[in-house]
Amino acid sequence: MRIAFLGKGGAGKTTTAAGFIQYMRARHPFVLAVDADVNAHLMSALNLSGEVKQLGLHFDEVTDYLRGQRTDLGDRPMIGTTPPANGSNFIKVSKNDPFIEKYAKIEDNLALLTVGTYQQEDVGGSCYHEKLKSLAGIFHHMLDHEDDIVIADTTAGTDNVATSLSFAYDINVFVLEPTEKSTQVFLDYKEIAPQFVERTFVVGNKVDGVEDEEYIQSRVGTDKYLGSIPYSANLKRFEQGEEDAIHSFQMEQARAFDNVHQKWRERKRDWQDYLDRLHKTFAWDCQRWYSDYYRCDMLTGIDKSFSYEDVMRVKTTV
Ligand SMILES: Nc1ncnc2c1ncn2[C@@H]1O[C@H](COP(=O)(O)OP(=O)(O)OP(=O)(O)O)[C@@H](O)[C@H]1O
Ligand SMILES: [Mg+2]
């Protein structure tokens, strides 16, 4: 299951995603973290350092890998939304998966994949959706089970809706500050993407007392509300260099995280629905742009016999 943290710029997405990653690491054998924000800060929030492969810069390499042995595409290129086929290479949520070994930063029971930031040549000419194409391809080739945990920090706002990432996440958690603008991001999302409301929840962040909590609930309702994380002096002390203060902050986050964890346990993915959405998005991408761009009919010949359930059965029993 995949959980994404969303919200307005500065609301605390990275802080909360990193906190939930650590919470799950303490309870789970392995956690796959994904920094899907082009302003990549998750690595430092997780206290990791060193070099990291930026997936957004390696789209051709990533799609060559995912393409594997498939024959249905002929010489046509893959795009981010190309549905998998029986010859594809897939990614398992495991430290030993060859893709994770090659592209993730691994430390103990954590692996981190990073989309990466803009490069000098992107300035003025590259949209961040371009960077996210690699990530879309990765998610559409990921064979994660219900008890696997994948946690993503995302870009600010509701732009995900415009990409196939909108259905790649099983659970969305909006991190909301007790302000009108911050809560509006969730209200906008509900309006734009009613089909995903069922899988979408809210955590209040930087909440200073009952009044703040009630304010957020008055804006977004109580049915989606999973809990509040206080405006924390412990976090500030940690960021000022007092290392132990992070444990006190983690305790302040824990109650809300218990409820996020519970949602993760309850959630089931409908693989057929996922594949149907992927086929629709792929067809839309091809008709709108890619068939013209590559001067070929990108839609013909795609392996319709593929099913995620079948390949999960085969790959996990080998
Ligand atoms: N519960 C909290 N209490 C106090 N400060 C917090 C809390 N959560 C986050 N912050 C602070 O708010 C600032 C923004 O947090 P963070 O970087 O996590 O937000 P973000 O939503 O990921 O931002 P961006 O949109 O830039 O990616 C940081 O300085 C962080 O320390
Ligand atoms: Mg962030």
Confidence category of residue 163, pLDDT binned at 50, 70, 90: confident
Q: What is the per-residue pLDDT for 56?
A: 82
- Taken in order of first residue, the domains within the chain and their CATH numbers are 2-317 (3.40.50.300)
Confidence category of residue 119, pLDDT binned at 50, 70, 90: low
Of residues 198, 171, 199, 176, the one with CA closest to residue 186: 176
Confidence category of residue 120, pLDDT binned at 50, 70, 90: very low
Give the pLDDT mean for 111-135: 67
Q: Report how far residue 129's alpha carbon sits from residue 109's, in angstroms, rounded to the nearest whole number.
A: 30
Confidence category of residue 129, pLDDT binned at 50, 70, 90: low
Confidence category of residue 126, pLDDT binned at 50, 70, 90: very low
pLDDT of residue 128 exceeding 70, the answer is no
The residue written with tokens 């196939």 in the block is 164
pLDDT of residue 121 exceeding 50, the answer is no
Q: What is the per-residue pLDDT for 290?
A: 80
Give the pLDDT mean for 272-281: 95
Give tens-digit pLDDT for 201-240. 999 999 999 999 999 999 999 999 999 999 999 999 999 9
**Distance from the CA of 187 to the center of ligand 2, in angstroms?**
20
Q: What is the per-residue pLDDT for 234?
A: 97
Give tens-digit pLDDT for 277-302. 999 999 999 988 788 887 888 887 77
Q: Report how far residue 219's alpha carbon sits from residue 199's, in angstroms, rounded to the nearest whole number.
A: 19
Q: What is the per-residue pLDDT for 31?
A: 98
| Angle between the N-to-C axes of helices 13-25 and 245-266, in degrees from 0 to 180, rounded to the nearest 10 | 80
Task: For ligand 1, pick from 14, 151, 213 the residue to mutate: most ligand atoms within 8 Å of CB.
Answer: 14
pLDDT of residue 4 exceeding 90, the answer is yes
Nearest protein CA to atom 25 of ligand 1, as residue: 9
Q: Report how far residue 168's alpha carbon sits from residue 76's, in angstroms, rounded to the nearest whole number.
A: 24
Of residues 205, 211, 208, 247, the one with CA closest to residue 227: 205
Ligand 1 neighbours, Cβ below 6 Å, are: 7, 9-15, 37, 39, 41, 156, 205-206, 229, 231-232, 235, 239
